[in-house]
Amino acid sequence: MSDDELLLSLADGLVEARGFRSFFAVSTDKSERLKHCFEPDAQREEKAVPRVLLFTRLSNDKNSKVNKLTQAETMTRLLRACPWATYDTAIAGANLELLSALARQANGFDLSAGRDLLEPDFAANLLSFS
């Protein structure tokens, strides 16, 4: 949906996600300062109902590891990822309600991304579990 930001909204008890941008920006190596923009060939979804949340971190391990998170762990990760959600006390309650609904609706996973993630088709096979 997007490579940068998502807008989350609560509609009829379900959290919906919408991407802001229709293109992605990539660079071919670390020394390249300019990114190349491209639009995927696949049809872009306007909105989606998230069912899987993948919290990623890079590791220098050979193999990647995926661990399922509990609902409480998923909520904790969401709060860490969105600390601004509670800054404005006028809307903090609504933000927390939305994040809580997301933690209940989606299965959370921790991905410790190893070097095997760079192998052809590895990422596609990894994500096929959903």
pLDDT in the model for residue 18: 87
Helix (H, G, I), strand (E, B) or coil at 97: helix
Please answer whether residues 81 and 55 qualify as being in contact, where contact means their C-beta atoms are separated by less than 8 angstroms: yes
Assess whether pLDDT exceeds 70 at residue 95: yes
- CA distances to 16, 52, 114 from 1, rounded to whole Å, are 12, 14, 24
pLDDT per residue as tens digits for the range 53-70 = 999 999 989 999 999 999
pLDDT per residue as tens digits for the range 26-52 = 776 666 677 777 666 666 667 889 999
Closest listed residue to residue 35, CA positions, set 24, 43, 45, 27: 27
Give, to the nearest 10 degrees, the angle between helix 89-105 and helix 71-81. 140
pTM of the entire predicted model: 0.74
